Chains A and B, each alone.
Chain A
């Protein structure tokens, strides 16, 4: 589905939470305010990802990367991401 080039990483996370593809796409689309069809559109999603600051596929200084991007993704999708929770525990948050 294009990973971080589009929103494949986000839909994959929802599959790991137990959703099938259609449900996972609808969930992510709802959180992003787009249609499920749009989720695979690299033109739209590249721009949206930078606006939401959840990591992009090209190397752009200042855009969230790694753990920072995943912390924002966890908040956006309303899910817990294991490594983000570990970071919070280390920070006493």
Chain B
């Protein structure tokens, strides 16, 4: 019997029979249905995924006419940074990289961001960042964002002033852990608003809050409030890219618009991000390295389809190392990256990546 060669979630090779492939797709889909309480994929969706995985071609793509928009997180760290950003370590400036992404790579939009890609470290060097945004805006044509991670974790000791919930929670000091997060939110929010406003003053087209909720529900709340502020006080379009598929409840009782934030899945996160006034939402679905790529991609597009079905704003799922069905490996294989990308658009209904 002919087998189908594909990958595991860690990037290693695996061979499946056609029946095994179908089972993997169904199991992945059901995994999303069960956890997120979302609708399953249709038979047409499964037929598309079967055709995609059984095709022996290394590279897969969307049908002509169905091309979608690329937005970027991590700025141009991909080219000039080190492996800490899966970067190629090239001796290029950020402006050279931005121009390369625009012309050689034909990106639809791009982002200026600092190598230390969080709001706390870039706040002291804001004028340098503004200068780079301005000079790039003078010479580029594509929409130019500024981006960073809110990264509430940097506000806790030892990196920041507030007591660390990770130290307090194991001691059973839940009230103290919650108080620390509530205090940290206030400071983070002021930093988010200030930096966002500074980039608006120099003419940025958009702003990207990346890996949102990496430190759980408190960080998600601060970001939603920052999106509200940005949509009211600036002319920039705001993109919110999540850190993980579910919002972790380090606080557990924080709410936005009457909705508890802890435990939210992508389609639920989307509604709040949309309500806050963002223009683009980037859901994340985490890759399970112990499962096959068909399982992971089916699970990912099931979650994303639940987002795109009801969204009024553009949905750009994160499709990168370890997310969106892509293997969690430093050099993700193109045979799976292209399949995950196309499936997000053709099956998941994504407006971009």
Report if A and B associate in a common complex.
Answer: yes
Q: A1 in the interface, Cβ–Cβ < 8 Å?
A: yes
With a CB–CB cut-off of 8 A, which chain A residues contact B69?
A: 1, 8, 11-12, 15, 21, 24
Contacts of B68 in A (CB 8 A): 1, 21
A12 touches B312 (CB 8 A): no
CB of A50 closer than 8 Å to a CB of B: no
* Distance to closest chain A CB from B281 (angstroms): 11
Q: Tell me the count of chain B residues lying within 8 A, CB to CB, of chain A.
A: 41
The residues of B with any CB-CB pair to A shorter than 8 Å are 64-65, 67-71, 102-103, 105-109, 134, 137-144, 200, 202-206, 235-237, 279-280, 311-315, 351-352
For A4, what are the chain B residues with a Cβ–Cβ distance below 8 Å?
A: 102-103, 106, 141-142
CB distance from B307 to the nearest CB of A (A): 12
Q: Which of A11-33 contact B (CB under 8 A)?
A: 11-13, 15-21, 24
Cα distance A69–B202 in the bound complex, in angstroms? 18
- Bound: A36/B66 CA distance, A: 9
Within 8 A of B (CB), among A67-93: 67, 69-70, 73, 80-83, 85-86
Give the residues in chain B near A37, CB-CB below 8 Å: 64-65
Pick the contact of A67: B138, B206, B313 (CB < 8 A). Answer: B138
**Inter-chain contact B64/A40, CB cutoff 8 Å:** yes
A12 and B65 contact, CB distance less than 8 A: no
8 new A-B pairs (CB below 8 Å) besides A3-B108, A21-B351, A69-B141?
A3-B107, A4-B106, A13-B205, A15-B314, A16-B279, A57-B103, A70-B141, A83-B137
